[in-house]
Amino acid sequence: MTNKTFLTVHGVIYMFFALALFFAPGILWPNYGVQLNDQYAVFLSQHNSIFLGGIGLISFLFRNSEHGSEGARNILNGLLWTNVLGVIVTLYACLTGIFTGFGWSDPAFFAVLAVLSVIQLGKNR
């Protein structure tokens, strides 16, 4: 897949979750076994949307990076490590019982994005 396609899809996925965590945290989090018991928990979900939305915007803004350029490799490497951190943190949440139910989809989701990032990075070497 081209960098433009990969970064556009990556950005859309992150923006989708940013908007969901901001506008519908009470619908999304219970699917992962997480209860939002007060306005502070809701705010933390909305606060998380800053970072997810930022990753989405960065992906989208770099989508025209020239194939094989240092800039393209740098953004792809950054996304790779962001997704690896996502695997680690969400796997921890699953293993400690914080995430239940649909929560196991998160480490799988981040793992797929990490693998796709590795593949795309390999195409840019």
Q: What is the pLDDT of residues 12-61, one digit of tens each?
A: 999 999 999 999 999 999 999 999 999 999 999 999 999 999 999 999 99
Query: In whole numbers, what is the pLDDT of the chain averaged over residues?
Result: 96
Task: Quote the pLDDT of residue 105.
Answer: 95
As a whole number, mean pLDDT of residues 69-92 equals: 97
Share of the chain above pLDDT 70, in %: 100
Task: Quote the pLDDT of residue 17.
Answer: 96
Taking the complete model, does pTM exceed 0.85, yes or no?
A: yes
SS (H, E, C) the chain: CCHHHHHHHHHHHHHHHHHHHHHCHHHHHHHHCCCCCCHHHHHHHHHHHHHHHHHHHHHHHCCCCCCCCHHHHHHHHHHHHHHHHHHHHHHHHHHCCCCCHHHHHHHHHHHHHHHHHHHHHHHCC
Q: How many domains does the chain have?
A: 1
